[in-house]
Amino acid sequence: MAKTASALRIRRTVDEMRAVRRSLARPVAIVPTMGALHDGHGSLVRRARAECASVVVTIFVNPLQFGEGEDFERYPRALEKDIALLEDLGTDVVFAPGVTQMYPRPIETAIDPGPLARFFEGERRSGHFRGVTTVVAKLFNIVAPDRAYFGKKDAQQLAIIRRMTSDLNMPVDIVACPIVREADGLALSSRNAYLQPADRAAAPRLYGALRFIAERAGRDGSRGDIPRAIAEATAMLAPLRPDYLAVVDRQRFEPLDAVPADGELLAIGAAFAGATRLIDNVEFGAPGRPQL
Ligand code: AMP
């Protein structure tokens, strides 16, 4: 859709955001982010720009999705730089509310992310996905987008948000965008800024291990061999410290011990590089169906 040149507008309050929304041409895209933007975010904004008449990028470090002892306080914040980048990308509106705008009083109502949050990120980060579903629902209610752009980098989050919008009849199309990686395979992440040089050098091993699992599990005749592929991939991670490696169905996010005959599968994983926790995933088709 052709972009008509218009200046970037920055809105800091819910009322201001609602007011500007009324003037936006549809379809309206939302790209929810926590800021400290990199080219992964950039790819979402470019896609939204190409497909929608108006693009709203939200920047909000959501305290509700950080557990105790996690990095909420020290999560990277770079609002001025983010705004300059978003202006270059042709964003129409940046919605960057403060915490008291989003949570003027302690929240008592939240969205239960259900069984998709039972394992992996949901198991390790108690309350994380409840914070994500709740803030995304709030942002959808404030921005009233037609389409929402999310990265496949956070694959469990994507599955949960898809399910939430479907279960609750939210009138928003969810658009999933490919993972953007560094030349050596490391998935871009705002948290990569924490990596010390030695940890940065080791970080692409997670992607390597996931590709190994996807290749093994996706190969004809390897059905049932997931535990072995995971064991071998775990050994490939050092000096990264494994958190989990698993194969899941893209919609269900339950650990699979055997590759089903059909389905859209993911090798998913998390590992520590020093104190920084990395997550990543690799898509593959079940053997017997064409690679995706
Ligand atoms: P965050 O700011 O980390 O909450 O991420 C905001 C959005 O950007 C989410 O939908 C992420 O999945 C997406 N995203 C983050 N990193 C990447 C990446 N490397 N490639 C594609 N999308 C990404």
What was the pLDDT predicted at 3? 52
pLDDT for position 286: 77
**Confidence (pLDDT) at 261:** 84
Ligand 1 pocket, residue 179 CB under 6 Å = yes
What pLDDT is recorded for position 279?
98
Q: Ligand 1 atom 22: the closest Cα is on which residue? A: 151
Looking at per-residue pLDDT, the higher value among 72 and 287 belongs to 72
The predicted structure's pLDDT at residue 291 = 47
Q: Is residue 41 flagged as an active site residue?
A: yes
Q: Is the minimum distance from the CB of 278 to ligand 1 under 6 angstroms?
A: no
Distance CA 1, CA 77 (A): 31
In the predicted model, what is the mean pLDDT of the chain? Answer: 95
Tokens of 101: 């705008």
User: Of the residues 11, 41, 138, 250, which is catalytic?
Assistant: 41
Could you report the per-residue pLDDT of 64-86, keeping only the tens digit for each?
A: 999 999 999 999 999 999 999 99
Mean pLDDT of 255-266: 91
Determine the atom of ligand 1 nearest the C-alpha atom of 36.
2
Close Cβ partners of 161 (under 8 Å, ≥ 6 residues apart)? 132, 133, 136, 148, 150, 174
Ligand 1 centre and the CA of 201: distance in Å? 21
Give me the pLDDT at residue 224, please. Answer: 52
Q: What percent of the chain has pLDDT over 70?
A: 95
d(CA 288, CA 275): 40
- pLDDT class of 5 with cuts at 50, 70, 90: low
Ligand 1 center–CA 80 separation, angstroms:
19
**Rounded average pLDDT over 27-53:** 98
Least confident of 18-32, 199-213, 257-271: 257-271
* Beta bridge pairs of residue 280: 269
Q: What is the pLDDT of residue 117?
A: 98
Determine if ligand 1 sits within 6 Å of the CB of residue 192.
no
- Residues 128 and 268: their CA atoms lie apart, in Å, by 18
pLDDT tens, 104-156? 999 999 999 999 999 999 999 999 999 999 999 999 999 999 999 999 999 99
